[in-house]
């Protein structure tokens, strides 16, 4: 082997080590990386926040059905809205209050409808991120909702849907997802905060350690809000050895709520 050949070999090996090292190891913060060197978001995640009850600061309050006793009550919770204010336009604020009053029958969660974005990420159910070398799939336990994040050329939302059209990109180590084409039928929580078909959501997922993702979503909708507003919360990794999604097909538990007046049987 000539000396030039040997030098080349050494430089190739050195380069190889630098390239391979991140793939095999982890960041000092314990953020695992994929073979391609991106932060690895694969895993089962779930929030501990009270956001799904109410995005804003709230004292404990009675649930929509006193028959459920304390099981149906809403625990106090620290809000996840930056500044704690949702800047509704007056008409939208009135609609939110009406939603709250009718939440037992009108919350799409009660009807087992798909949760939409961002709500799907902070419901009290786990979801799994499936990060392939090309695309990223979010699989939600609730209602077996899912959404594919297009990481290649952005796709135009050709039709509105519950889970939206999702285009992703990396901003450094943060996965940014631009969500358009939302159908506006989804709510944001059980307190009646809501969306329209003009709602545009930009999400940011940053894995900040082996067991945590910092989640942020900016919600913009000139028909509902004075200005864009942002929520942020932490997602925790479900670290049990046997952690797995178990599909929650909730339709059968919503049918009596939806069709009850036309059902003839001993339960009705």
Question: Which residues of the chain form contacts with another protein (CB under 8 A)?
Answer: 35-36, 42, 111-114, 128, 130-135, 137, 139, 144-146, 148, 159, 161-163, 185, 241-242, 244-247, 249, 251-252, 255-256, 258-259, 262-265, 268
Between 144 and 230, name the residue whose CB sits nearer to another protein: 144
C-alpha triplet 53, 59, 62: angle, nearest 5°: 65
Rounded least distance, CB 146 to another protein, Å: 4
Between 58 and 238, name the residue whose CB sits nearer to another protein: 238
Is residue 103 within 8 Å of 193, Cβ to Cβ?
Answer: no
The encoded tokens of residue 24 equal: 């095999």
Between 146 and 174, name the residue whose CB sits nearer to another protein: 146
Rounded least distance, CB 27 to another protein, Å: 18
Is residue 81 within 8 Å of 230, Cβ to Cβ?
Answer: yes
d(CA 159, CA 176): 22
Between 23 and 60, name the residue whose CB sits nearer to another protein: 23
Q: CA nearest 37: which of 53, 52, 50, 20?
A: 20
Is residue 116 within 8 Å of 143, Cβ to Cβ?
Answer: no
Rounded least distance, CB 226 to another protein, Å: 30
Rounded least distance, CB 144 to another protein, Å: 6
Q: CA nearest 141: which of 215, 50, 210, 45?
A: 45
Between 14 and 263, name the residue whose CB sits nearer to another protein: 263
Environment class of residue 1 by beta-carbon count within 10 Å: exposed (0-12), middle (13-18) or buried (19+)? exposed
How do strand 146-150 and strand 165-171 relate by DSSP bridges? Answer: parallel
Between 66 and 262, name the residue whose CB sits nearer to another protein: 262
Is residue 79 within 8 Å of 99, Cβ to Cβ?
Answer: no
d(CA 5, CA 167): 46
* Residues comprising the chain, all counted: 268
Between 107 and 216, name the residue whose CB sits nearer to another protein: 107
Rounded least distance, CB 116 to another protein, Å: 11
Rounded least distance, CB 139 to another protein, Å: 4
Rounded least distance, CB 108 to another protein, Å: 8
């Amino acid at each position: 082997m000539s000396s030039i050949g040997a030098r080349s070999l050494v430089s190739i090996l050195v380069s190889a080590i630098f390239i391979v090292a991140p793939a095999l190891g982890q960041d000092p913060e314990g953020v695992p990386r994929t073979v391609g060197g991106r932060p690895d978001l694969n895993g089962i995640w779930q929030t501990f926040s009270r956001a799904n009850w109410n995005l804003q600061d709230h004292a404990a309050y009675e649930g929509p059905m006193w028959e459920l006793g304390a099981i149906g009550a809403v625990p106090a919770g620290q809000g996840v809205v930056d500044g704690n204010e949702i800047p509704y336009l007056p008409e939208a604020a009135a609609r939110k209050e009406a939603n709250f009053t009718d939440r037992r029958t009108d919350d799409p969660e009660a009807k087992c409808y798909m949760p939409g974005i961002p709500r799907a990420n902070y419901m009290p159910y786990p979801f799994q991120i499936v990060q392939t070398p090309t695309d990223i799939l979010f699989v939600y336990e609730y209602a077996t909702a899912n959404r594919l994040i297009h990481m290649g050329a952005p796709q135009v939302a050709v039709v509105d849907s519950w889970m939206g059209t999702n285009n992703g990109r990396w901003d450094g180590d943060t996965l940014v997802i631009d969500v358009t084409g939302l159908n506006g039928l989804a709510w944001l929580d059980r307190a009646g905060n809501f969306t329209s078909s003009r709602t545009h959501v930009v999400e940011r997922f940053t894995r900040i350690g082996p067991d945590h993702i910092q989640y942020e979503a900016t919600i913009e909708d000139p028909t509902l809000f004075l200005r864009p507003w942002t929520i942020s919360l932490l997602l925790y990794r479900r670290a049990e050895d046997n952690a797995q999604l178990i599909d929650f097909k909730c339709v059968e538990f919503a049918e009596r709520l939806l069709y009850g007046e036309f059902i003839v049987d001993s339960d009705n």
